[in-house]
Structure 1
Amino acid sequence: MSRNDTSQALIFRDKAACQVLNDWFDSLQERGRYDSASRINGRVWRAQLRRAEFPHSIMVTDGYHHLAHQLNRTMQPKDLHPLALALFTAVVVHASKNNQDGSFAQQLGVKINDRECLSRLRFDRLLAARTPDELCSRLIRAIKLRGELGVNVVSLADGIFLWMQEWFARQENRELEANPFHRNSVRWASEYLLSTPQK
């Protein structure tokens, strides 16, 4: 992967972790899936997560705990921050389906009915989010605008986890990633512009 390639995940590189995300999202559509010996009602999880307040109410739901438990088996603890996972689960439950055609940011720039799914102004506001709460509400709005087209679940997770890494670094006055193409705002902007016709 070149230093300026934004097409590959930076956090969710492991295929097993990606499969966990995809399987967990798929389970949200079902009432009677079995995982090991336990029965899962994904529709109840989805309803609970949609009603829960970010972040603390999210973290006490069964759906959040199940996903955290599964990811703990495939990811390093340093990469699996509870707040990042809470933000992801709070947002992704508003997606209608897992659409793996392009990255999440590319999907926001795709035209729907002759207009970008997310206008440049709204996209700039998304990039300007300064707190996890702001990012959460703006991502939910963006995902709802995608409607039945859905979003790329793994790409969305990768962007959220990378954004949270950067947010924690700023809170602790640590240096950000030197390569700008490994920063979430640059990655999302590059990918969005790939799908947005230039005027």
Structure 2
Amino acid sequence: MSDVVTPETSEKEELLTESEKKALVGLKRDEAAALRRWWQRLTLTPQELKALTPQPSFPRGVRAVLRRCDSADAAMLTQGFRELWAMLPEATKKTEYQEEQLQVWSCIALISAELRKEEKGVSLAKRLGQQKDSTGKPLMSELRFQQLLSCRTPEEFIQRLRRALALANKQDISVVLLASVIALWWREHRGRLSAKPTQRLGFVLANDYFAATSRYTHRD
């Protein structure tokens, strides 16, 4: 495994935008910062990465192995996941919910590896609600969006997330906001629903999706 360097060490960029900090319902800020640096080391070219951090890229093939995984359990056995787990804050790993955290973060690793290009501050739902070409229709239809909201099993959730990213051409989404949605889904899947409606998965996704669609549609 490569040497672990914390996101605060000799960095050349602010890892999180102010809008992202406010929108991180499912993640803590130090978790999100570690995830973004991991994704950059996993995905960017050595030249692109050098402009951001002295930390090295992960070996070639690490991302490809993650993308071939068909479950969170499979992802948990990969080098890519081990690298991410090592970079996470100790408080995240040493918790009474450690088993759940392993599942959450292996799922995050698996899905984040699909993302080819980031756009900081753009959530998954906002991207899916954007207009497809000049059709007057969103990248993801309302029907498929509702299906994404109603996933009942990790397997179904992973499958629908991958389809959603494919519709978005696997780009122009914030990896930390994507991970926040995944973590929030797992929290609710485990029965821990937030007391605040605005911090529940359905509201977070629907709010961004329909805000995006409202830019080019007019409803009666």
Distance 2:94 2:151 in 1: 26
TM-superposed deviation, 1:118: 1.1
| Match of residue 179 from structure 1 | 196
Cα distance in 2 for partners of 1:106, 1:68 equals 28
Residue matched to 2:105: 85
Is the 2:187–2:193 contact (alpha carbons within 8 Å) kept by the matching residues of 1? no
Q: Which moved more, 1:26-35 or 1:182-191?
A: 26-35
Question: Where does residue 165 of structure 2 map in the other structure?
Answer: 143
**Structure 2 gap ranges (5+):** 1-21
| Length-normalised TM-score, structure 2 | 0.75
Task: State the match for 1:4 in structure 2.
Answer: none
Q: Which residue, out of 3, 8, 13, partners 2:23?
A: 8
What TM-score do the two structures reach when normalised by structure 1?
Answer: 0.82
Alignment match, 1:54: 71
Q: Which stretch of structure 1 is more off in the superposition, 144-153 or 181-190?
A: 144-153
What is aligned with 2:17?
Answer: none
Q: What's the offset of the Cα at 1:12?
A: 2.3
* Alpha-carbon shift at residue 58 of structure 1 (Å): 0.6
SS at 1:159 equivalent? helix
Structure holding more strand per residue: 1
Q: Which amino acid aligns with 1:116?
A: P
Does 1:26 pair with 2:40?
yes
1:21–1:154 Cα contact (<8 Å) kept: yes
| Structure 1 residue matching 2:169: 3-state secondary structure | helix
1:103-114 paired onto structure 2 within 5 Å: 103-114=123-134
- How many pairs does the alignment contain? 187
Alpha carbons 1:107, 1:151 under 8 Å: kept: yes
CA RMSD of aligned residues (A): 2.7
- Structure 1 residue ranges (4+ consecutive) displaced by more than 4 angstroms after TM superposition: 30-39
Q: 2:61 aligns with which of 37, 44, 47?
A: 44
